Amino acid sequence: MEQDTIGEIGNISFGSSATALSALLNQKVEITTPVVTAVSKGTLSELFPHPHVIVHVKYTEGFEALIYLSLPLRMQQLLLI
pTM for this entry:
0.59
Q: What's the pLDDT score for residue 28?
A: 92
3 or 78, which is more confident? 3
At 30, is the secondary structure helix, strand, or coil? coil
Distance CA 10, CA 2 (A): 13
Q: What is the pLDDT of residues 47-81, one digit of tens each?
A: 888 888 888 888 888 878 777 777 787 766 666 65
Q: Which of 62, 52, 78 is nearest to 12 (CA)?
A: 62
Give percent above pLDDT 70 in the chain.
90
CB–CB of 6/12 below 8 Å?
Answer: no
Other Cβ atoms within 10 Å of 8 Cβ, number: 14
Instruction: Please report, for the chain, the start and end positions of each structural domain, with discontinuous segments joined by +.
Output: 3-79
DSSP 8-class letter at 61:
S
**19 confidence band (pLDDT: 50, 70, 90):** very high
